[in-house]
Every structure is written in structure tokens, then in C-alpha cells.
């Protein structure tokens, strides 16, 4: 089974802190994604990557950056955490561009910024 692992289930950080959310997948997937889930808004795409060292902005990239130094790992960085970044963060991966397969999601990281 494909596994997408997010390093933390729950995080509490202070306003202004730099926050790293880590995601690792174990099935050699090329594509990786970061979403945030908020009530009434569903899943919104923050950043995605189709290859190592490649990154593309999603719909809501402001206040975030990403790093993909290795194929299996995709990190989301909150440069200076703010309270409006309190949310559930979901990482996802999928095999290859153009194939119509769904994503495999991690279990999510619930981040609270105080």
C-alpha cells in the first residue's frame, strides 16, 4: 500500500515562528501536493511539485514556501506563522502527470498558531 506520512499529527506554534511541516511518501510518486482544509472552504491547494527541486504555486501560496530536495519528501514551510494559518494541512501524492488516478493523502497535521 502506498503510504504518505506526515511527521506530526498536532502542532502548536507561536505567531512569528518559522514552521516546518514534513511529508514523506514511500512509493516513488513524482507528484506531491500540499493542501489546507478549512470548514466551508474544502481543500485548497497551497503548493505542488512534479519533480525533485521543482515547485509550483497553487491557489493560496501566500505566506508559505516549499522544498523538494528528494523525490520522497515534500516540506511545507510557514515563514512567519500567523493565526490565520491555523488549519488542517494535508499532504498528497500521485504517480505521474496525466494519469487520471486520485491522490493518496496523509493523515494530516492540525496546526494551531497562538
Can you give the binding site for other proteins, defined by CB under 8 A? 4, 9, 31, 33, 35, 40-45, 48, 50, 58, 90, 92, 94, 96-100, 102-108
Q: How far apart are CB 104 and other proteins at their closest, in Å?
A: 8
Q: What's the burial of 32, exposed, middle or buried (CB within 10 Å: 0-12/13-18/19+)?
A: buried
Determine the Cα–Cα distance for residues 106 and 103; give it in Å rounded to an integer.
10
CB of 94 to other proteins, least distance (A): 6
Distance from C-alpha of 62 to C-alpha of 44, rounded to nearest angstrom: 12
> In whole angstroms, how far apart are CA 67 and each of 52, 55, 81, 82, 101?
9, 8, 17, 20, 24
Q: Which CB, 11 or 43, lies closer to other proteins? A: 43
Closer to other proteins at the Cβ: 17 or 28? 28
Instruction: Give the shortest CB-80-to-other proteins separation in angstroms.
Output: 27
Nearer to other proteins by Cβ, of 1 and 14: the residue is: 1
Amino acid at each position: 500500500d502506498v503510504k504518505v506520512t506526515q511527521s506530526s499529527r498536532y502542532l502548536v506554534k507561536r505567531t512569528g515562528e518559522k514552521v516546518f511541516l514534513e511529508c514523506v511518501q514511500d512509493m516513488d510518486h513524482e507528484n506531491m501536493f500540499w493542501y489546507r482544509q478549512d470548514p466551508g472552504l474544502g481543500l485548497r491547494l497551497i503548493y505542488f511539485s512534479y519533480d525533485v527541486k521543482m515547485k509550483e504555486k497553487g491557489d493560496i501560496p501566500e505566506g508559505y514556501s516549499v522544498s523538494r530536495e528528494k523525490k520522497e519528501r515534500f516540506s511545507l514551510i510557514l515563514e512567519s506563522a500567523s493565526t490565520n494559518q491555523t488549519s488542517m494541512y494535508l499532504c498528497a501524492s500521485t504517480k505521474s502527470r496525466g494519469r487520471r488516478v486520485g491522490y493518496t493523502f496523509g493523515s494530516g497535521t492540525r496546526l494551531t498558531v497562538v
